[in-house]
Structure 1
Amino acid sequence: MFSPEGPRLRELAVQALSSVERGYDLLAPKFDHTPFRTPDPVLDATTEALRRAGPFDTGLDLCCGTGAGVDVLRQVCRGSVTGVDFSTGMLTVARERVRPPGPAAGWVRADARALPFGPVFDLVVSFGAFGHFLPRELPGLFAQVHSVLRPGGRFVFPVVAPPRPGSLTYGMLLGFDAVMRVRNAVWRPPFVMYYRAFRFGAVRRELTRAGFRVESWALSEFGRRRDGSPRVRLVVAGRPGPGQTAAGTVNS
């Protein structure tokens, strides 16, 4: 599951008994050697889709971690790009990892639920961070993203189709979420990480309520499931420009 450069079992145990912020501070030096990092094929497919839709000017990587999303932004944005995260450790690694060539990147330590920006971004991306937000926090999170986008700007993130009930992956994720709920019931501070709490239907509704026009782009590189639905899709939530209003989801 982990490469030889990844964290040891004891390190993971210490992280799991910490807060989310402290846990990622500890994990940061070895994070890119874990399966928690968004896989390169997903990052590459997202980059290609955004290249076809762009170019964009300014970009923000929400909950940037070690900067994988900033790498995507630097390939599709003509202007400045910024990574924001509340883990000092992750930002430290990102600063060292993301270097020229390419546009310079800025780094800001902040909570995604209270972003310290005005409406200055044309593109906001996020990769693998939403399991750290409880469902009741999504309206506030999406309102924050909406507030930092310029009219006509887009909020983009990949969503992997959920595993089939009864499959090994389904059972593993169900077990992980159950363990996390027990852990948070008996231990403080809580560590919020639930793989099954981020549901596409609920996310679509909350994005629309936050004022976004929501589209769904299939990433053809990953094929489709037996029912015809994409294995991986990009959610593309646009802040309406002048004369536009929020609307329902458009699939492609």
Structure 2
Amino acid sequence: MFSPQGPSLRELAVQALSSVERGYDLLAPKFDHTPFRTPDRVLDATAEALRPLGPFGDGLDVCCGTGAGVRALAPLCRGTITGVDFSAGMLAQARRARPDAAWVRADVRELPFGAAFDLAVTFGALGHLLPAERPALFAGVHRALRPGGLFAFPLGAPPPPTSVLYWALLGFDAAMRIRNAVWRPPFVMYYRTCPLGAVRDDLAAAGFTVTTVPLASLGRRGDGAPRGRLVLARKPRTTGA
């Protein structure tokens, strides 16, 4: 799962026993050599699905990490691209890789932007927020978008209970809950806390109009369901917000 340039087992253990922010600061120099980075095929599938809806003006990558999401944003946006994350280490890596983008350190539950962007994306970040924290994130993204702006992010299809992946993710989340019950500071990283229905409800409560489209290039499961969907949350062009 890890390349020779990736973190050692000891480094991963130290990260897992840290806070989310400190853990990612430690992991940042080797993060792109781990399976935790969003795969290029997911980034490319997202860009492919968004292309017919653009072009867009200014873009925002929420929980940008080392800046991999810029791969999806760059071909779609004619204006500036901004990444926001609370890990200084991850942002330092992003700045080295893409000095042409703007990088902002902030807590995404309190985004410091107002009506400045036309497209916002996030990749793999929702599992770092407890369900009760999602409304604050979605409200902040809503404020950050101009009227008519779009918030988009991929969600994978839930694996069937008969699959190895289903039990692997269930086991990981259970282990993480035990870890957080007995160790401080907590490290929030869960794979099964973002079902599409709950996410859709939270987006609608924040003022978005929500649709989804299949990520066609990711293929379909054996039952015919798409392996991934792109959630498209549109801020109305006329709003009282």
Conserved? CA contact 2:111–2:137, under 8 Å: no
Shift of 1:228: 3.3
Alignment of 1:72-111 (within 5 A): 72-99=72-99, 104-111=100-107
For structure 2, which runs of at least 5 residues remain unmatched after alignment? Answer: none
Indicate yes or no: 2:159 matched with 1:175.
no
Say if 1:71 and 1:98, in contact at 8 Å, map to a contact too: no
User: 1:165 deviation in Å?
Assistant: 0.7
Post-superposition Cα deviations, 1:8-66, rounded to whole Å, max 9, x if no partner, equal 00000000000000000000000000000111011011112222210000000000000
* Alpha-carbon shift at residue 89 of structure 1 (Å): 0.2
Task: Provide the TM-score with structure 1 as the length reference.
Answer: 0.93
Alignment pair present for 1:130 and 2:147: no
CA positional deviation for 1:91:
0.2
- Residue in structure 2 matched with residue 237 of structure 1 by the alignment: 233
Structure 1 segments unaligned to the other structure (5+ residues):
246-252
Partner of 1:10: 10
What is the aligned partner in structure 2 of residue 56 from structure 1? Answer: 56
Q: TM-score if structure 2 supplies the norm length?
A: 0.97
- Whole-angstrom CA distance in 2 between matches of 1:166 and 1:49: 30
Residue of structure 1 equivalent to 2:66: 66
Distance (Å, rounded) in 2 between the aligned partners of 1:150 and 1:117: 11
Separation in 2, partners of 1:167, 1:49:
28
- Alpha carbons 1:91, 1:109 under 8 Å: kept: yes
Q: Secondary structure at the match of 1:76?
A: coil
Equivalent in the alignment of 1:157: 153
- Which amino acid is the alignment partner of residue 117 of structure 2? F
Amino acid corresponding to residue 238 of structure 1 in structure 2:
R
Q: Residue in 2 aligned with 1:210?
A: 206
Percent identity between the two aligned chains:
68
Query: Over aligned residue pairs, what C-alpha RMSD do you find?
Result: 1.2
Where do residues 135-154 of structure 1 align in structure 2 (5 Å cutoff)?
Answer: 135-154=131-150
What displacement does 1:71 show?
2.5
Taking the aligned partners of 1:90 and 1:108, their CA distance within structure 2 comes to 11
